[in-house]
Amino acid sequence: MMYPEQLLIPMRQELTRLGVEELKTVAEVDAKLADQKGTALVVVNSVCGCAARNARPAVAMALQHAVKPDVSTTVFAGQDREATDRARGYFVGYPPSSPSIALMKDGDVVFMLERYQIEGRSATDIAADLTRAFDRYCARQPA
């Protein structure tokens, strides 16, 4: 079921106002994730309560951390279907999940939070998981 776009604008803006780039087409997803070097956060956004209560606030908290991915992106499940399906195609070994949050490094998923790891947990706990992953995979190595 497609929701009216007007209803989704605030849900989209919760992430885009943080500088998270929204990917609405297959071409946009491929431009960011195909042959990707460095680290990329990919948030599969959703209208569900656990996205509103847990996932989006956790991403907002985590992106305040000193260490962050090189790029932060989002697709909207159930709305921008082709873009979401394409993004999920990069999550090798993980079934579709909404919401979900993937951290990719050089094109491979190195950390994933699926719905079952988001639902029922606090945004603070999820943000802590994300910042630990950022510290592990996004920290610059000394030259």
pLDDT digits (tens, 9 = 90+) for 77-113: 989 999 999 999 999 999 999 999 999 999 999 999 9
143, part of any domain: no
- In 3D space, the residue among 74, 50, 66 whose CA is nearest the CA of residue 126 turns out to be 50
Is 48 labeled as catalytic in the residue annotation?
yes
- 114-136 per-position pLDDT tens digit: 999 999 999 999 999 999 999 99
pTM: 0.94
CATH of the domain at 37: 3.40.30.10
Write out the residue range of the structural domain in which residue 48 sits. Answer: 5-137
Set 33, 40, 44, 50: catalytic member: 50
Give the pLDDT band (50/70/90) at residue 5: confident
54, part of any domain: yes
pLDDT value of position 143: 47
Contact 75, 21 (CB under 8 A): no
53, part of any domain: yes
Set 26, 48, 67, 112: catalytic member: 48
27, part of any domain: yes
142, part of any domain: no
The domain tally of the chain equals 1
Strand order in the sheet with 108-113: 21-22, 71-76, 39-45, 100-105, 108-113
126, part of any domain: yes
86, part of any domain: yes
